[in-house]
Amino acid sequence: MILTTPSERRALIERSRRVAMVGASANPLRPSYTVFSYLRTQTHFDVTPINPTIESIDGVRAYPSLAAYAAERGAPEIVNVFRRPSEVVEVTREAIAAGAKAIWFQYGVVNDEATRIADEAGLDVVVDRCLKVEHARFHGGLATSGLNSGLLTSRRAGHA
């Protein structure tokens, strides 16, 4: 089912624990690293990077594929996708083969064929949304910029 409402996305977040993040990066300047780090440290998720080019991120073992992850850890509940839209049909098929229950396509990852394949296979599908932003939105950690600023005032630091 394609999840289009905030309540549907919140329910998915609340009922899920194991997240396999396809395309997670060890480069702190990449959005996929920021999201990985947030999900690992600020949520209830057990998040694992899926990337054949790295061994680990911040001490968390990376798996080269969803198949390798599933063989060792079981089916992921959510496959969070940070890949080019042209590459996600194959990722979707791998997620289905790995037994995933949901696939979450990050901002800008829009591929109608991948969405259709996932929906027809019975996966919950989220398109063009950020799992970090949605989690923060539902748990009180979202500022206007999409980051938790930690500020309790509307004034800038150093300004009267």
Residue 107 neighbours by CB under 8 Å, 6+ apart: 128, 129, 130
**pLDDT 10s digits, 70-125:** 999 999 999 999 999 999 999 999 999 999 999 999 999 999 999 999 999 999 99
The DSSP secondary structure of 43-82, one letter per residue, reads SS-EEEEE-TT-SEETTEEPBSSHHHHHHHH---SEEEE-
User: Domain total for the chain?
Assistant: 1
Residue 34 within any structural domain of the chain: yes
Residue 18 within any structural domain of the chain: yes
**pLDDT 10s digits, 48-77:** 999 999 999 999 999 999 999 999 999 999
Residue 159 within any structural domain of the chain: no
The CATH number for 36's domain is 3.40.50.720
Q: Which domain holds residue 77?
A: 6-138
Mean pLDDT of 13-21: 96
> Above 90 in pLDDT, residue 27?
yes
Nearest by Cα to 10 from 142, 135, 132, 122: 135
